[in-house]
């Protein structure tokens, strides 16, 4: 199987050759349904991330894909063949990667070589392959004889990934591998993982709580909520066109205004006592939420031509490195506005300000 082959870059729909298909997958534990009727196609060579809050069913989906759980109903297909009942050890193309699964008190080399040893690869060939993988994963060659317990968290993640690659699977599963790692190292490892994905051309299926982490690495993201896959799309689609309040909030700071269509067919906020120029209103829309990202909303100067404006009071400000975040209170609602540091707002806390945005920079969603 040529696992380096890639199709066109996928958009919301997978446009690559399908490798894994979930058809109407449901998983129940007793009377509790953890995963509800999921349909999903993951393409060959894709970096696909399942993201969602705790308990949303991500691990259960991954465990079914890896053969560690059997679906209650529905089918899982691997390259067109039903694999529902094929156990994990008989899915040679799949494996779960987790640094916690490393053998403690063994060396880096022994850990990486394990999959090769059980396949009776000669000692010299095993070592050569281990050193090659270590180089690819930027682990110094003299770590070969180092005990894994003496490695840092980030190094252990790399050893675990090297061992997973030593199995030479077409598909790698990642179960929150970076969740216990500090922010700076996590950011580095996210980029490295993306590079390794590109270099190997393998299919990566990854789960995380963090949509931010998913955004950095993934070709596409599936967002889960209460056992359901509520949106699948590219990072750009998820960010710019969330299909619900839940997805738009999940990505971090965002302004959400409850709105309804009023008697004149305009978008109206009862709480703010304001009408808005809106993006196109979908047929049948009666009420929902207007979403405006902090970078799309601004403190307006006199000359500003913002289509929507609200008067408020500057309530707080926070330095976020290259950006400054302002909180502006309008009635009972606090809006989040961001500006580049070079364009810092000169008025102080408690200034009367106007905030504004253009209709095209807002998104209308349901609940
Ligand atoms: P987290 O991010 O916290 O790991 P998750 O999104 O991966 O959460 P799952 O671990 O898939 O969520 O769990 C989904 C739901 O199914 C949870 O309510 C969980 O308690 C339940 N669940 C998972 N495995 C079992 C099991 N073996 N028996 C009973 N309930 C289970």
The average pLDDT across 80-106 equals 78
Which residue's alpha carbon is nearest to atom 11 within ligand 1?
Answer: 57
CA nearest neighbour of 271 among 286, 256, 249, 281: 256
Confidence (pLDDT) at 3? 31
The residues spanned by each domain of the chain are 2-240, 253-365
Burial of residue 79 (number of CB atoms within 10 Å: 0-12, 13-18, 19+): middle
Residue 312 CB partners (closer than 8 Å, separation 6+): 328, 329, 330, 331, 335, 352, 353, 354, 355
Q: Is residue 56 lining ligand 1, measured as CB closer than 6 Å?
A: yes
Q: What is the pLDDT of residues 22-66, one digit of tens each?
A: 999 999 999 999 999 999 999 999 999 999 999 999 999 999 998
Q: What residue's CA is closest to ligand 1, atom 29?
A: 29
- Among 29, 71, 98, 225, name the best residue to mutate to test ligand 1's pocket (greatest count of ligand atoms within 8 A of Cβ): 29
pLDDT above 70 covers a percentage of the chain that reads 93
| 362-365, strands of its sheet edge to edge | 274-276, 267-269, 255-261, 287-292, 362-365
Q: What is the CA radius of gyration of the chain?
A: 24
Q: Which fold has domain 2-240?
A: Rossmann fold (3.40.50)
Instruction: Please tell me which residue, 278 or 92, carries the higher pLDDT value.
Output: 278
Instruction: Give the three-state DSSP class for 112.
Output: helix
Q: What are the tens digits of pLDDT across the range 302-319?
A: 777 899 999 999 999 999
The pLDDT score that the predictor gives to residue 253 is: 87
Does the Cβ of 70 fall within 6 Å of ligand 1? no
User: Which run of H or of E encompasses 126?
Assistant: helix 123-136
- Centre of ligand 1 to C-alpha 251, Å, is 22
Instruction: Note the CATH number of domain 253-365.
Output: 2.40.50.100
Residue with the larger pLDDT of the pair 108 and 304: 108
Work out the pLDDT band at 96, boundaries 50, 70, 90. Answer: low
Q: Is 60 in the pocket of ligand 1 (CB under 6 A)?
A: yes
For ligand 1, say whether the CB of 16 is within 6 Å of any of its atoms.
Answer: no
Handedness of CA 89, 94, 99, 100 (dihedral sign): negative
Going by pLDDT thresholds of 50, 70 and 90, the confidence category of residue 269 is very high
The CA distance from 108 to 134, in Å, is 9
| Contact between residue 256 and residue 248 where contact means Cβ atoms under 8 Å apart | yes
Rounded Cα–Cα distance for residues 270 and 291 (Å):
16
Does position 326 have pLDDT exceeding 50, yes or no? yes
pLDDT of residue 97: 63
Sign of the Cα torsion 117, 123, 128, 131 reads: positive
Q: What is the pLDDT of residues 125-182, one digit of tens each?
A: 999 999 999 998 889 999 999 999 999 888 888 898 899 888 888 899 988 877 777 7
Name the closest-CA residue to atom 17, ligand 1: 55
What pTM was estimated for this model as a whole? Answer: 0.86
Q: Is 48 exposed, middle or buried (0-12, 13-18, 19+ CB in 10 A)?
A: buried
83-97 average pLDDT score: 74
């Amino acid at each position: 199987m040529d696992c380096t082959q890639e199709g066109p870059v996928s958009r919301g729909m997978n446009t690559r050759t399908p490798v894994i298909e979930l058809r109407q997958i449901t998983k129940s534990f007793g009377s509790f349904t953890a995963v509800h009727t999921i349909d999903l196609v993951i393409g060959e060579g894709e970096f696909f991330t399942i993201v969602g809050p705790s308990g949303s069913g991500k691990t259960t989906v991954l465990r079914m894909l890896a053969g560690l759980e059997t679906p209650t109903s529905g089918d899982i297909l691997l390259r067109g063949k039903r694999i529902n009942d094929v156990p994990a050890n008989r899915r040679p193309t799949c494996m779960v990667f987790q640094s916690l699964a490393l053998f403690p008190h063994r060396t880096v080399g022994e850990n990486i070589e394990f999959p090769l040893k059980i396949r009776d690869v000669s000692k010299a060939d095993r070592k050569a392959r281990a050193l090659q993988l270590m180089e690819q994963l930027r682990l110094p060659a003299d770590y070969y004889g180092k005990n894994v317990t003496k490695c840092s968290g980030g190094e252990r993640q790399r050893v675990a990934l090297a061992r997973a690659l030593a199995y030479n699977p077409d598909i790698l599963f990642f179960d929150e591998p970076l969740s216990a790692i500090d922010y700076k190292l996590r950011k580095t490892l996210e980029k490295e993982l993306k590079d390794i994905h590109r270099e190997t051309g393998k299919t990566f299926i990854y789960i995380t709580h963090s949509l931010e982490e998913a955004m950095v690495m993934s070709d596409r993201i599936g967002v889960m909520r209460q056992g359901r896959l509520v949106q699948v799309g590219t990072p750009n689609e998820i960010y710019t066109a969330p299909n619900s309040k839940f997805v738009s909030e999940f990505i971090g700071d965002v302004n959400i205004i409850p709105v309804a269509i009023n008697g004149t067919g305009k978008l109206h906020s009862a709480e703010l006592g304001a009408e808005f120029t809106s993006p196109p209103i979908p047929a049948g829309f009666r009420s929902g939420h207007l979403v405006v990202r902090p970078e799309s909303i601004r403190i307006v100067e006199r000359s500003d031509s913002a289509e929507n404006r609200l008067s408020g009071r500057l309530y707080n400000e926070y330095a976020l490195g290259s950006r400054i975040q302002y909180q502006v209170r309008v009635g009972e609602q606090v809006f989040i506005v961001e500006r580049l540091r070079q364009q810092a707002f000169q008025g102080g806390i408690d200034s009367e300000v106007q905030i504004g945005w253009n209709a095209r920079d807002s998104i209308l969603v349901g609940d």
